[in-house]
Structure 1
Amino acid sequence: MARIPDKIRSIDGSKETLKLDVRITDLWFVGTPNKSEQAEMVFVDFEGDQIHAICKSDHLKSWKADLKENCTYVMHNFKVVKNDGQFRVCEHEYKLFFIGVTVVREADLHELPFKEFRFVEFANVVAGNFVSGLLVDIIGVVDQVVFRHNCIFHFAWCLCLSYPYEVMDVMLFLCYSGEILSCTLWENYCAQFLSYLNERGDDGPMVIILTHARIKDAQVEFCCCCCWHLQEDAVCVTVGTISKIVMDNHSWCYPACAQCHRKTDIQTGPFTCGCGKDND
């Protein structure tokens, strides 16, 4: 008689000889391929419950070819650890790690649910009603696109993707149900977005979905945007002068070209950028 699968919601760290019938609803890779790369994924079972699973580099070679997003599997044996890291992909109290005796077998379990987005309400983000460190899904209409360099502008709360990169970034202002949030896309995500933006042209409203985004309390102590509650339709333009930029332990900046925004190693004095722009 076949063993009854364990339910994800019943995983409590008391045993590691688990049997799970799951679908991989999200799969991504972190690190340098063939060196320090590891796979991270989200499992969902028949009850719709989710759990975060990680296959580290020492086991990834065995399983990388078999792990596919949206495919269904019967899996056995994991190391179960507390889900108490700085960032949490799922709400589940525990997460799973592949180990040497983990068994992965692809199976036809078509009744397993597919990915279900769990969108956070903008109003709750603005009000601070969210679980700190829990990554979220976001959907909104792009209201404005802003390239950022030298200093950071923001609303009361800022959304950042969970895997930060170094230099190039773009800020999106997303609108939903009358609320506006700023969202930062870093390097590779920024490049993908700008490529799509250039290809689509001016083709009406653009809806963006972000998965596994981090809600981040804004660090800089000023805001470039103001909002009013108006009794009638109107267009408001605010013109201001930045008199001072306050830098604290969480802030950062870098010298850059005024035209192409590329970073330069020259700390002081005028310079000519590779794009040909003379910077004072």
Structure 2
Amino acid sequence: MHNFNVLRNDLHFKACDHVYRMQFTAGTTLKQREFPDILELEYDFKKFSDIISGNFRSDLLIDFCFPLLLDVIGVFYKLIFSQTQSNLKKVIFSMKDFCGDVISCTLWEAHAIKFLNYYNNQPSLHVTP
């Protein structure tokens, strides 16, 4: 990576909890390189019980791939609400982990539409608990 800025990671919502972040500029260029000694992906999933008890950082964004999430930390439990016909598109659903803890999740806009498309094409998810 060339021609980028290094800034303090003081954003209101952070993609990671590192002290610094890299910021792209108009002149930033990237070149793919292989670094076999550095892990490409690292997962640090939060326990549902920690989320329920409030033991989490509200300024740290969590990103997940829904099919991966089903296999790794919990399962889709129930579709609670969907709103796709207005300007604000929104889906609320709950997830249950293997300890039986349930949390509510909200997705907006393109993420909500993508989730609903996935949900509507997966008959196995339409199970009433």
Calculate the TM-score normalised by the size of structure 2: 0.73
1:78/1:97 contact within 8 Å kept:
yes
Question: Helix, strand or coil: the match of 1:97?
Answer: strand
Q: How many residues align?
A: 116
Task: Quickly say closer, same or farther: Cα 1:116–1:140, change in 2 above 3 A.
Answer: same
2-structure distance, mates of 1:187, 1:102: 29
**Does residue 90 of structure 2 align to residue 169 of structure 1?**
yes
Once the two structures are superposed, the pairs formed by residues 186-205 of structure 1 within 5 Å of their partners are 186-202=108-124
Once the two structures are superposed, the pairs formed by residues 32-111 of structure 1 within 5 Å of their partners are 75-99=1-25, 102=28, 104-111=30-37
1:200 CA drift (Å): 1.7
Task: Quickly say closer, same or farther: Cα 1:172–1:118, change in 2 above 3 A.
Answer: same
Question: Helix, strand or coil: the match of 2:51?
Answer: helix
1:122/1:179 contact within 8 Å kept:
yes
Which residue is 1:215 aligned to?
none
Calculate the TM-score normalised by the size of structure 1: 0.37
1:80 CA drift (Å): 1.4
Task: Quickly say closer, same or farther: Cα 1:100–1:194, change in 2 above 3 A.
Answer: closer
Identify the structure with the greater helix proportion.
2
**Does residue 106 of structure 2 align to residue 180 of structure 1?**
no
Which residue is 1:37 aligned to?
none
Q: Deviations over 1:153-181 (max 9, x none)?
A: xxxxxxxxxxxxx5221111111122111
Question: Helix, strand or coil: the match of 1:136?
Answer: coil
| CA RMSD in angstroms, aligned pairs only | 2.7
1:118/1:136 contact within 8 Å kept:
no
Which residue is 2:51 aligned to?
125
Q: Which runs of 5+ in 2 are unaligned?
A: 65-72
**Does residue 78 of structure 2 align to residue 144 of structure 1?**
yes
1:77 CA drift (Å): 4.7
Once the two structures are superposed, the pairs formed by residues 206-245 of structure 1 within 5 Å of their partners are none
1:100 CA drift (Å): 6.0
1:120/1:137 contact within 8 Å kept:
no
Counterpart code for 1:79? N
Q: Which runs of 5+ in 1 are unaligned?
A: 1-74, 150-165, 206-234, 236-280
Task: Quickly say closer, same or farther: Cα 1:194–1:140, change in 2 above 3 A.
Answer: same
Question: Helix, strand or coil: the match of 2:18?
Answer: coil
Among the aligned pairs, what percent are the same residue? 34
